[in-house]
Amino acid sequence: MRSVTVFHRLAGLVGVLLLAGVAVPPGVAARAEAAGATRSAAGAGRHAAAGSLADTLAAAVTGAEVHRHLTAFQGIADFSGGDRGYNRVGFTRSAWYVTTLLRAAGYQVVEQTVPYTDFDISVERLRVGGAGGRDVRVLATRFGPTTPAEGIEAPVATPPVGRTGCEPADYDGVAAAGAVVVLARAACGYARQQQVAAGAGARGVLLYYATPSPENIYRFHAFDPAAFTIPTASVSQRDGEELVRAARGDGTRVHLTLRAQSVARTTVNLIAETAGGDPENVVLLGAHLDSVPETPGINDNAVMSAAVLQVAIALGGRQHAVTNKVRFVWWGAEEMINVGSGHYVANLSAGERQRIAAVLNGELIASPNPGRFVWDPGTGGGHVLANLFGEYFDGRGLPYERTAPGSVGSDHLAFEAVGIPTGGLDGGNLAVKTPQQQARFGGQAGQMFDHCYHQTCDRIETINRAALDANVPAVAWVLGRLAVDVSAVRAATAP
């Protein structure tokens, strides 16, 4: 019977990967089955048991093991139009992959259906210089206003040097009325910049994000759609600065067409948990499985998804013997601003929320120019979780910085908002590495931590293998500690 089970599990895995057009990671089904055959030994006391399990999981969850999953995710993206977007077939195939390996490791997998509103973009086009001009890549702002079907043809305008477009006075003496305004994203926020431009009579706004990688282009999101009254889109810094020069020079005209509509869709959260463990003390380890539709999303966030998957596989054979129940979740549509996690939390009863002792999350943990940032609210259960990560890194001489949990927008914030302790880490994304951080972490000062964040180059070739090797065992180690003992987190969270 056992050999038949192994055969069917392997056949199912091969079927998933063949559909995705990727090679089977060497020995992955065998490792999952072997994990299912192990059993934990009794520890000498709760702390000793926590250390024993933590060390065992950290040894099993290596960068090399996680990299095999990344190879599969990259292959899925390559076979699915280049991405694993939340509303695309690459996400569905990624979910198949995770589900198949979880079942091979002995878990039952639940798919939680998550309704959400998508923003289907049918046209995003920018022509510079009229009929004989050139096309420039442009990205419509999600949930922002669109143009008429025929688009907008208008001159470009921009505030004088030193003005950001954050205040009405920035447009004094500028022919903004009837124009498409070009702006660098400023500290006041692009919603404010759009409002001020609209107040000056602009017909549209083109924004760019100034970074050390001027070829990059980032899609913006209208978090409050009611605050946006004119079509707003983004261009690369290189194209934006060229348009700014044109606006101050020869009065170049542009033709901007943005067409999109809101669409009701569903995605899924994948949920698996240990068969054993105290259901009154749940430790939840999660990561978002989706990418933005423009990229394979390997550092953001296949690396953490793969780390969670490998932790689950490594714990599979011990799932009947853990002290606390461990729940693994792969979130859907995080890139649409925490859709999957927000739905999950909103549908927890008060009792179910109280049973979750801690939530662990991670983002971009193998950035090309990496840092190591541990999320620490400074007090409460989240501070205890940060100290666990600190204990791991301190014990291995690995440098890190503590940062506020909100420094990275991700799924843990939905839990934090309802008072559930959260912890985790990230490797940095759009921020620029300082000389002090270069001295601490290596890499290159003056460059972004991840120049491929939300870009097509977010592929397996650009992740930092040393960061991968150092960070994924840390996730496993902290999970192992919590699977045995959450008393310190509970005590710090108590009112």
How many Å apart are CA 407 and CA 83, to the nearest integer?
26
Q: How many CB atoms lie within 10 A of CB 81?
A: 12
How many Å apart are CA 387 and CA 73, to the nearest integer?
32
**DSSP output for 364-419:** -TT-SS---EEE--SSHHHHHHHHHHHHHHHHTT---EEE-GGGS-STHHHHHTTT
Phi first, then psi: what are they for 288, rounded to 5°? -85, 140
Query: 5: number of CA atoms within 13 Å, CB side?
Result: 11
Q: What share of the chain is helix, strand, coil (3-state, %, to 5)?
A: 40, 20, 35
Q: Which two tokens stand for residue 284?
A: 């939840």
Phi first, then psi: what are they for 463, rounded to 5°? -70, 155
Strand 152-157 versus strand 139-140 pairing type: unpaired
**Distance spanning both ends of the chain, measured CA to CA:** 52
User: CB of 174 within 8 A of CB of 255?
Assistant: no
Q: How many CB atoms lie within 10 A of CB 462?
A: 16
Residues with a catalytic annotation lie at 334
Identify any residues that bridge with 109 across adjacent strands, giving them in sequence order: 272
Q: How many CB atoms lie within 10 A of CB 15?
A: 12
**DSSP output for 240-277:** HHHHHHHHTTT--EEEEEEEEEEEEEEEEEEEEE-SSS
How many Å apart are CA 285 and CA 273, to the nearest integer?
10
How many Å apart are CA 157 and CA 245, to the nearest integer?
10
Peptide bond preceding 301: is omega within 30 degrees of 0, i.e. cis? yes
Residues in contact with 18: Cβ distance below 8 Å, sequence separation at least 6, in sequence order: none
